[in-house]
């Protein structure tokens, strides 16, 4: 137990010092389940140790969430509580940093009305437009991290004895976030430099189009002019570095909204709003999703695509080599934070403004004109495997291998 407590404390310190890089006199906002309270308390401790002005925790409870979805009428989910929206937006404007601790049971809302789930996603998406723009332009610092929970651990390790499921999931979290190294903070900085070097290579090439081929996939994705590939670390408006996801193994960019053609198949299940969507295929025409197929969760996936007009298009394009540590762990996490970092992935919905040169300073109209998608949602889904090849096509028409058999070709 002492060893676990030591690792959990290191993890909390990493989240504070590298994840959001808390600055003196800065407010810290944490979204946490009550099951993740031990980690949340340690994050609070470390935040105050580095000079945080205040730590504000917004608690959720899965049992209450499920009961609410089962018993509350649809009208409850069609509007967003104004006080919650105003609090989050006001804190963001005060330069607070935001930590989201994910620990959800992937099957929590299985069997719940898809109409309620879709209504809630749309209502919250509309209400949090201003806040989302602050995060997606990197105006503020934010990070998404994980904590093991009973429901999640049971989904990931169903064959283990009950008493070993949560400890095994915690160990997987510690391993993938580099807590098991001598100096996690230094290790993360080296990892950040490695990913940034790969992003620099891609930025030099400035491909016009990426062509993906794999079993069930033949997809062309156009990239905007002056696009910017980004590695692990980002910088907020004040110039302070942070890590939006921990773990992370990706370099990512944005798609040119209307320049996506062909079809792509998922290679890992997508855990979305308490449901699992699996074995699905999306077809694109002139950038827009024209057809949705899925063996499991088709209704939920269709509702996601129908959230708004922007959710019919792609935002993010991310490259992750199959030999990445998370992929090689052999663990299917049923959690996008982890599974997206084991696989090449795409995102339905909004693109990040900073993935185009000077995009942080552009108006929404300017971004639209450059093909940078906007939506109420942003949902990553996994498409990579050791059978995927990707070619980059330059403006002059030259084809250059980017991925071969799931790994970098340069």
Residues 55 and 94 in one domain: yes
For the chain, give the mean pLDDT. Answer: 96
Question: If pLDDT is split at 50, 70 and 90, which confidence band does 324 have?
Answer: confident
pLDDT at 264: 98
Residues 201 and 163 in one domain: no
Residues 161 and 252 in one domain: no
Residues 261 and 157 in one domain: no
User: Does residue 241 belong to any structural domain of this protein?
Assistant: no
| Residues 6 or more apart in contact with residue 164 via CB below 8 angstroms | 157
What integer is the mean pLDDT of 201-208?
Answer: 97
What integer is the mean pLDDT of 83-109?
Answer: 96
Residues 210 and 330 in one domain: yes
Which domain, by its residues, includes 143? 4-177
pLDDT at 232: 83
pLDDT digits (tens, 9 = 90+) for 157-178: 999 999 999 999 999 999 999 9
Is the pLDDT confidence value at 142 over 90? yes
Residues 168 and 200 in one domain: no
Residues 170 and 126 in one domain: yes
Residues 146 and 206 in one domain: no
What integer is the mean pLDDT of 259-278?
Answer: 96
* pTM to 2 decimal places: 0.90
Residues paired with 283 in a beta bridge? 263, 291
User: Does residue 242 belong to any structural domain of this protein?
Assistant: no
Residues 155 and 252 in one domain: no
What integer is the mean pLDDT of 30-48?
Answer: 98
Would strands 97-102 and 27-33 be described as parallel, antiparallel, or unpaired? parallel
Domain count, the chain: 2
User: Does residue 365 belong to any structural domain of this protein?
Assistant: yes
User: Does residue 234 belong to any structural domain of this protein?
Assistant: no
What CA dihedral angle connects 119, 288, 372 and 379, to 10 degrees? 40
Give ∠ CA 373-378-380 in degrees, rounded to 5: 115
User: Does residue 38 belong to any structural domain of this protein?
Assistant: yes
Long-range contacts of residues 302-306, Cβ cutoff 8 Å, at least 24 apart: 303/114, 303/115, 303/117, 303/118, 303/121, 304/118, 304/121, 304/272, 304/348, 304/377, 304/379, 305/348, 306/118
Residues 332 and 200 in one domain: yes
Give ∠ CA 231-187-15 in degrees, rounded to 5: 75
Residues 25 and 155 in one domain: yes
pLDDT at 371: 96
pLDDT at 165: 98
In this structure, the number of other CB atoms found within 10 A of the CB of residue 83 comes to 8
Residues 106 and 223 in one domain: no
CATH of the domain at 38: 3.40.1830.10
User: Does residue 243 belong to any structural domain of this protein?
Assistant: no
Q: Are 279 and 266 in contact (CB under 8 A)?
A: yes
User: Does residue 383 belong to any structural domain of this protein?
Assistant: yes
What integer is the mean pLDDT of 251-255?
Answer: 98
Is the pLDDT confidence value at 47 over 80? yes
Give ∠ CA 194-198-201 in degrees, rounded to 5: 140
pLDDT at 2: 76
User: Does residue 223 belong to any structural domain of this protein?
Assistant: yes
What integer is the mean pLDDT of 306-311?
Answer: 97
């Amino acid at each position: 137990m002492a060893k676990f407590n030591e690792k959990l404390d290191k993890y909390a310190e990493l989240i504070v010092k590298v994840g959001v890089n808390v600055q003196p006199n800065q407010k810290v906002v944490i979204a946490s389940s009550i099951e993740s309270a031990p980690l949340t308390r340690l994050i609070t401790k470390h935040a105050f140790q580095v000079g945080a002005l205040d730590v504000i925790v917004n608690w959720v409870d899965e049992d209450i969430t499920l009961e609410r979805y089962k018993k509350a009428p649809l009208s409850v989910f069609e509007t967003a509580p104004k006080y919650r929206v105003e609090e989050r937006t006001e804190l963001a404007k005060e330069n607070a940093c935001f930590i989201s601790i994910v620990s959800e049971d992937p099957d929590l809302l299985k069997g719940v009305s898809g109409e309620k789930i879709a209504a809630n996603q749309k209502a919250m998406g509309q209400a949090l437009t201003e806040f989302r723009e602050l995060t997606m332009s990197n105006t503020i610092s934010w990070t998404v991290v994980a904590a093991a929970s009973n429901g999640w651990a049971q989904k990931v390790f169903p064959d283990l004895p009950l008493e070993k499921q949560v400890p095994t999931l915690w160990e997987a979290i510690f391993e993938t976030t580099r807590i098991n190294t001598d100096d996690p903070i230094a290790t993360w900085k080296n990892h950040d430099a490695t990913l940034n070097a790969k992003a620099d290579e891609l930025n030099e090439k400035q491909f016009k189009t990426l062509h993906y081929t794999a079993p069930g996939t033949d997809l062309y994705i156009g990239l905007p002019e002056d696009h910017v590939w980004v590695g692990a670390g980002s910088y907020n408006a004040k110039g302070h570095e942070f890590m939006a996801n921990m773990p992370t193994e990706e370099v990512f960019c944005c798609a040119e909204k209307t320049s996506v053609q062909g079809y792509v198949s998922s290679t890992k299940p997508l855990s979305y709003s308490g449901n699992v969507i699996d074995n699905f295929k999306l077809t694109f025409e002139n950038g827009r999703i024209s057809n949705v197929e899925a063996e499991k969760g088709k209704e939920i996936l269709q509702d996601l695509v129908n959230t708004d007009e922007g959710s019919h298009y792609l935002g993010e394009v991310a490259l992750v080599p199959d030999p990445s540590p998370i992929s090689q762990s052999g663990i299917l996490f049923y959690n996008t934070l982890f599974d997206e970092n084991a696989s090449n992935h795409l995102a339905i919905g909004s693109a990040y403004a900073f993935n185009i040169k000077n995009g942080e300073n552009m108006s929404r109209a300017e971004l639209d004109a450059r093909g940078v998608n906007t939506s109420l949602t942003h949902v990553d889904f996994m498409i990579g495997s050791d059978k995927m090849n990707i070619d980059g096509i330059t403006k002059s028409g030259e084809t250059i291998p980017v991925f071969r058999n799931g790994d970098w070709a340069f």
